[in-house]
Structure 1
Amino acid sequence: MYRRLIKPILFAMNIERAHSVVLWLLRVIGKIPGGRWLLRRNYCIEHPSLEREVFGLKFRNPIGIAAGFDRNAEVFREMCDLGFGFVEVGTITPLPQPGLPRPRIFRLPKDHAIINRTGLSNKGLNRVVAQLRHRHDRLIIGANIGKNALTHPGQVPADYLRLFRSLYQYVDYFTINVCCDNCMEVDVSQDTSHLMKILTPLFDFRRGQNQYRPILIKISPDLSDERIDEITDLMQATPLDGIVAVNGTFTHTGLKTSEEALEEIGNGRLSGAPLTRRAIEVVKRIHDRSQGNYPIIGVGGLMTPDDVKNMLAAGASLVQLYTGYIYEGPGLVKRVCESLIEEEKHTPSTRHTSGVSE
């Protein structure tokens, strides 16, 4: 139904408008009596082989929706009803920001990809807190947090700390996004000394809390292998709990989309099928260097069940979908889960757990 009817309608719209329509429909379904039950009936799969325990949290399955889809925590319940094992909301900034001028998100159908340069448009911290304050469902929610575009460089750690403190009681884990649109200088924003200025106040605050919230850091695929190694070493030397790998790439080479079309679109982060190989490569590198002792959330170019299985085989404890979900629709999560269950039937039983670094 999605491919024959819904997808053609959505793809006839500007992608940002289509996304707004999808969010609106999910909110409506969530308010209709029995609406969420209907979603669960059609899309959710429960099976013991899908369950994972990662950084002290129990996930009903390892498939999450990446940050960027539910920026303002408006449909996280409905996304779980669509079969996701967890939802990462955001990227959230302290103050609301409109982002960059439109159009700013573009489909590349020939490449099964998307280019975006939203500038982290979102409604800000207070709106997200209001949305999460009354959550009663047993859902796993992560918060992807970033700085405001106009924040003075010296105040960047304060942006992250404000978000961390305000959201601490409402979410289950944090992703520190230092490769977002507001941190355009990749080599600078992900320099280890810069990272420690952001992370140290978060570690200090967490030590004084009764509840433990895992802290992960999200990295760019455009980093050199040497810089990825440095960040992996940083994870092992600090109280970081894991890495989310990877964000979109600014590399636009080797695409099927014409050069003329790419020039018209302009710069932006590329996600989707062209990113698959690099994302899996980065996850494997982190896994090997850390000897498999730290959780990794693998994201980037996961378009099919086989892509997900390859990412998990590379060392990811959990995965996230985004562009693949847009192209393949809500049935993708169900197909991935069915594929993982089938694979489990033909492999020796293993215990799916990943601990928390102290």
Structure 2
Amino acid sequence: MYNSLVKPLLFQLDAEQAHTAIHKFAQTASRSSMLKALASVIYGYQSPMLNQQLWGLDFGNPMGLAAGFDKNGEIPEIMDAVGFGFVEIGSITGNPSTGNPKPRVFRLPKDHALINRMGLNNDGAKTIIKRLKNKQLSIPLGVNVAKTHDPNIMGDLAIRDYVHSFNEAKKVADYITVNISCPNTSEGKTFEDTAALDELLSALEIREDARLVPTLIKFSSDLTKQELLSLLEVCENHRVHGYVACNTSSGRDRLTTDAKILKKIGRGGLSGSPIAPKSIQVVEWISEATNGQKPIIGVGGIDSFDIALKMILAGADLLQVYTGLIYEGPGLIKSINRQLVQQMKELNISSIHQLVTATTAE
């Protein structure tokens, strides 16, 4: 129904208008027991073979909603109902922000991709966390924190901004993702520098507090292997609990969209199918560098079972989707979960963790 009816209607609107329309309906659905129950019947899929426990949290399936879709924590209940195994809201920032001027989201239908330069628009940490306190979820809730989109907030002020959002997030989050790269702000990758990252993680006191909410670091998809390894060394020294790979890309590789269209769109973060190879590569690098001992959330270009499986085989324990949801609809979650179970049955294994060994042995 999504591809034949809903998607054609949504794609008549510009990308941000369509997102707003979806969001408004999702807010209504989140308040309706009947709509949530209906969504669960249509899209829900459960199997004990998909269960995992990471950071002491129970994940009913590996499919999560990526940060950016629900920036203000307004619709996690309906995402729970449609079958996600976890949701990550945000990015939230210390101060509220309206983001960049519109238009700021663009579809690349030929490439099953998006380019966005939203600019971290959100209601601010205090407001969002207060809203989330009233949410009743049956799945883990992640909160993604970033620096307020303001070029005047740099250095020590930037660190204080992160600490404020981080401390707010701790009040409700099952895990926290620290977003150290955002290509959609004027200052760009402020904390993808080893010295700056070390200072930030010291201020967050991850290493000092064993009771801390599990804290993950989200990397850019544009890092070289050496850049990534240097950042990982800092993270491991601070005993970071896991990683998210990857954020959107500033590059324009692997695109079939006309160059004139891309030039007209201009800057922004590329997401969707074209960045899948980069994301899978970064996941593999992280897994190798950490000897597979740190959980990884793979995100970036997952729009099919094949890509999801490649991400898992590269070392991802959990997966997240956003752009794939725009192009494939909510049925994507059920489809990937079903096919994962089918794959495990064919390999005669009982858990996702056994997939890598079993697939390699074939």
Q: TM exceeds 0.5?
A: yes
1:243-287 Cα shifts (integer Å, max 9, x gaps): 100001111133111111011100111011110111101101111
1:182 is matched with: 185
Question: Retained in 1: the 8 A contact 2:72–2:123?
Answer: yes
Query: Which amino acid in 1 is paired with 2:313?
Result: A
**Which structure 2 residues correspond to residues 154-169 of structure 1 after superposition, within 5 A?**
154-169=156-171
Partner SS, residue 34 of structure 1: helix
Aligned residue number for residue 265 of structure 2: 265
CA drift of 1:236 comes to 2.5
Q: Corresponding residue for 2:319?
A: 319
**Which residues in structure 2 correspond to 1:1-358 (within 5 Å)?**
1-150=1-150, 151-180=153-182, 181-182=184-185, 184-186=187-189, 189-203=191-205, 207=209, 211-349=211-349, 351=351
State the shift of 1:349 in Å. Answer: 2.7
- Tell me how far 1:124 sits from its aligned partner: 1.0
Note if contact 2:70-2:90 (Cα within 8 Å) is conserved in structure 1: yes
For 1:95 and 1:248, the matched residues in 2 are separated by: 23
Sort the Cα spacing of 1:258 and 1:352 in 2 relative to 1 into closer, same or farther, 3 A.
Answer: closer
1:68 & 1:6 partners in 2: Cα distance?
21
Cα pair 1:54 1:353 within 8 Å, conserved: no
- In 2, Cα distance between the equivalents of 1:183 and 1:215? 26
Using the TM superposition, give the Cα deviation of residue 206 of structure 1 relative to its aligned residue in structure 2, in angstroms: 6.8
Structure 1 position 346, deviation (Å): 1.5
- Identify which range, 291-300 or 21-30, moves more after superposition: 21-30
CA contact (8 A) 1:176 1:218 kept: yes
Please state whether the residue corresponding to 1:207 is helix, strand or coil: coil
Which whole-Å CA distance do the structure 1 matches of 2:145 and 2:226 have between them? 25
TM-score (norm 1): 0.94
Contact 1:50 1:60 in 2 (8 A): yes
> Gaps (5+ residues) in structure 1?
none
Q: Secondary structure at the match of 2:217?
A: strand
In 2: Cα distance, 1:182 partner to 1:157 partner: 16
**Alpha-carbon distance in 2 for matches of 1:212, 1:51:** 24
Deviation per CA, 1:76-116, whole angstroms, max 9, x where unpaired?
A: 11111111000000010111111110000000001110000
More RCO (CA 8 Å, sep 6+): 1
Q: Which whole-Å CA distance do the structure 2 matches of 1:264 and 1:50 have between them? A: 43
CA distance in 2: counterparts of 1:185 and 1:17, whole angstroms:
26
Q: CA deviation at 1:137?
A: 2.7
Comparing 327-336 and 134-143, the one that deviates more: 134-143
- Determine if contact 1:178/1:218 at 8 Å carries over to the other structure: yes
Comparing 296-305 with 341-350, greater Cα deviation is found at 341-350
Q: Is the 8 A contact 2:201 2:238 kept in 1?
A: no
How far is 1:234 from its partner? Answer: 2.4
Q: CA deviation at 1:183?
A: 7.0
Q: Cα offset for 1:352?
A: 5.1
Task: Report sequence identity in percent.
Answer: 36
CA distance in 2, matches of 1:108, 1:46: 33
Q: For structure 1, which segment, 154-163 or 5-14, has the greater mean C-alpha deviation from structure 2 after superposition?
A: 154-163
CA distance in 2, matches of 1:350, 1:33: 33
Q: Distance in 1 between matches of 2:281 and 2:218?
A: 15
Structure-2 change in CA distance of 1:255 and 1:137 (3 Å): closer
In structure 2, give the amino acid aligned to 1:306: D
Aligned-pair distance for 1:201?
2.1
Report Cα offsets for 1:117-156 as digits up to 9, x if no partner. 0111111112212221112332211010011122233211
> Within 2, Cα distance between the matches of 1:351 and 1:47?
10
CA contact under 8 A between 1:73 and 1:128: conserved in structure 2? yes
Q: Distance in 2 between matches of 1:232 and 1:42?
A: 41
Mapped to 2, the partners of 1:323 and 1:336 lie a distance apart of 15
- Specify every segment of 5 or more residues in structure 2 that has no aligned partner in the other structure, as ranges: 355-362
Question: How many residues matched?
Answer: 351
> Structure 2 vs 1, CA of residues 88 and 204 (structure 1 numbering), >3 Å: closer, same or farther?
closer
**Distance (Å, rounded) in 2 between the aligned partners of 1:246 and 1:101:** 25
Secondary structure of residue in 2 paired with 1:176: strand
CA apart distance, 1:52? 1.1
Shift of 1:329: 0.3
* Deviation for aligned residue 1:164: 1.3
SS of aligned partner of 2:255: coil
